[in-house]
């Protein structure tokens, strides 16, 4: 099950209470206060992991609580610190405060960590309050509660190339033939119900990731069809490949098909309309020559590189893959998120 949204509640551990105790030992007159401090509560830590690729482990387990600190004890013994709770999230997860909407973290590479909720401080025992005028204090402090937060998690896939187009434009067939991905392929709209990722090898020393998102329709930016549910997965791509069906079964005007998707990308925002784009004429093995020529004229007007392909016969796939690789070599790498702590190795999960 592919789950790319989840809302969870995290509760850091509370601090342990300080201890009220006095020494009561044989041959130790006027032993004095000996109450130890309480231990600090455990933190809640989010850690990016390559072992997870969806948020499904949060969908049915939304409550997460760290261990509280132990109370202080006599003989000046401090309570044990509560164990922190490390929650693994997929690389590409964006974390928001569900109440304020503030973006708290953006995980763009493995083994990044951030403390999302801090544990409470432990209370002081009565030994900490002894003074020259108050030799037997009976004052102690309770432990402070840990931070509690409601978080909204969104997964945005990390891919180099995004395939866009109307339903049945041939995106799933293309990714199945240029990579090892095996998406569902059928001759009806919205066959693809969740994004598919495939690794494409351009040559011996260069490979890249291609994302096939469900087909878009007019009004997708407002939630029509599968809408914004999957448009956000294109935000991290560095290149878009826009597939337009040129077979006789498609609409008469390929320019209209192209404009529908271009407008949805622009209305969604997040810079999707400014990303480099390749224009791909799909299903050229059964192409309508008039549609193919019209799409080629559109590519010249828009100054887009044009690639006629047939994913079924394999025609035109090698030039398309080489062009994708060339564009990616020249495109800047994805900048890491600026609100994360310095990446450090993730501790073993316990």
> How many whole angstroms from its chain centre is CA 258?
29
Give the best-scoring range by mean pLDDT among 2-11, 134-143, 283-292: 134-143
**Looking at per-residue confidence, does 229 or 16 come out higher?**
16
CA distance linking residue 156 with residue 340, whole number of Å: 16
**Average pLDDT of 179-190?**
58
**Looking at per-residue confidence, does 264 or 219 come out higher?**
264
**Looking at per-residue confidence, does 264 or 126 come out higher?**
126
Order across the sheet with 239-245: list the strands. 196-203, 206-212, 161-164, 239-245, 277-282, 305-308
pLDDT of 349 above 60 = no
Q: Are 148 and 116 in contact (CB under 8 A)?
A: no
Give the best-scoring range by mean pLDDT among 106-115, 175-184, 216-225: 106-115
**Looking at per-residue confidence, does 222 or 294 come out higher?**
294
Q: What is the CATH number of domain 1-155?
A: 2.70.210.12
pLDDT of 27 above 50 = yes
Give the best-scoring range by mean pLDDT among 114-118, 131-135, 295-299: 114-118
pLDDT of residue 188: 42
Mean pLDDT of the chain: 83
Radius of gyration, alpha carbons of the chain = 29
Name the CATH code of domain 161-330 (choices 1.10.15.40, 3.40.50.300, 3.10.560.10, 3.30.479.10): 3.40.50.300
pLDDT of residue 182: 67
CA distance linking residue 311 with residue 205, whole number of Å: 24
**Average pLDDT of 194-202?**
78
pLDDT of residue 343: 39
**Looking at per-residue confidence, does 190 or 27 come out higher?**
27
pLDDT of residue 47: 94
pLDDT of 336 above 90 = no
Q: Where are the domains of the chain?
A: 1-155, 161-330
Cα-flanking dihedrals φ and ψ of residue 199, to 5°? -95, 125
- Tokens, residue 336: 């890491």
**Average pLDDT of 229-244?**
82
CA distance linking residue 168 with residue 126, whole number of Å: 73
Share of the chain above pLDDT 90, in %: 35
pLDDT of 340 above 50 = no
Residue pointed to by tokens 């109440």? 99
**Average pLDDT of 96-107?**
92
Give the best-scoring range by mean pLDDT among 256-260, 315-319, 330-334: 315-319
pLDDT of 92 above 90 = no
End-to-end CA distance of the chain: 25
pLDDT of residue 96: 94
pLDDT band at 328 (very low <50, low <70, confident <90, very high): confident
DSSP secondary structure code for residue 33 in this structure:
B
Where is 93: in which H helix or E strand? strand 93-97
Residue pointed to by tokens 């969806």? 54
CA distance linking residue 269 with residue 274, whole number of Å: 9
pLDDT of residue 251: 66
Share of the chain above pLDDT 70, in %: 84
CA distance linking residue 215 with residue 190, whole number of Å: 6
pLDDT digits (tens, 9 = 90+) for 140-181: 999 999 999 999 998 887 788 888 888 877 888 888 888 876
Lowest-pLDDT range, 35-39, 113-117, 262-266, 342-346? 342-346
pLDDT of residue 345: 42
Cα-flanking dihedrals φ and ψ of residue 167, to 5°? -55, 145
pLDDT band at 246 (very low <50, low <70, confident <90, very high): confident
**Looking at per-residue confidence, does 332 or 18 come out higher?**
18
Mode of pairing for the β-strands spanning 239-245 and 305-308: unpaired
pLDDT of 344 above 60 = no
Burial 95-122 (b: 16+ CB within 10 A, else e): bbeeeeeeebbbbbeeebbbebbbbbbb
């Amino acid at each position: 099950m592919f789950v790319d949204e989840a809302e969870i509640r995290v509760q850091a551990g509370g601090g342990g209470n300080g201890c009220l105790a006095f020494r009561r030992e044989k041959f130790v007159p006027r032993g004095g206060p000996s109450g130890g401090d309480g231990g600090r509560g455990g933190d809640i830590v989010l850690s990016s992991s390559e072992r997870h690729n969806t948020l499904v482990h949060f969908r049915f387990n939304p409550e997460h609580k760290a261990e509280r600190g132990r109370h202080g004890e006599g003989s000046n013994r401090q309570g044990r610190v509560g164990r922190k709770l490390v929650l693994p999230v997929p690389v590409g997860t964006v974390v928001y405060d569900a109440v304020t909407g503030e973006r708290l973290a953006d995980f763009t590479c493995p083994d990044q960590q951030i403390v999302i909720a801090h544990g409470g401080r432990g209370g002081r025992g009565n030994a900490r309050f002894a003074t020259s005028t108050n030799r037997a204090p009976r004052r102690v402090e309770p432990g402070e509660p840990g931070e509690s937060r409601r978080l909204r998690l969104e997964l945005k896939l990390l891919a180099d190339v995004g395939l866009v187009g109307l339903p049945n434009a041939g995106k799933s067939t293309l990714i199945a033939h240029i990579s090892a991905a095996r998406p569902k392929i059928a001759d009806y709209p919205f066959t693809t119900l969740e994004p598919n990722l495939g690794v494409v090898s351009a040559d011996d020393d260069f490979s890249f990731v291609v994302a096939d998102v469900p087909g878009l329709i007019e009004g997708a930016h407002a939630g029509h069809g599968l809408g914004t549910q999957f448009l956000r997965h294109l935000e991290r791509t560095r290149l878009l490949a826009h597939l337009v069906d040129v077979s006789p079964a498609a609409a008469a005007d390929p320019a209209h098909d192209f404009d529908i998707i271009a407008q949805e990308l622009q209305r969604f925002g997040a810079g999707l309309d400014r990303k480099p784009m390749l224009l791909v004429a799909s299903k050229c093995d059964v192409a309508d020559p008039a549609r193919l020529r019209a799409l080629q004229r559109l590519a010249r007007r828009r100054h887009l590189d044009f690639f006629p392909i047939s994913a079924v016969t394999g025609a035109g796939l090698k030039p398309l893959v080489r062009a994708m690789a060339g564009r990616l070599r020249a495109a800047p790498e994805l900048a890491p998120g600026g609100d994360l702590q310095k990446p450090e190795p993730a501790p073993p999960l316990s």
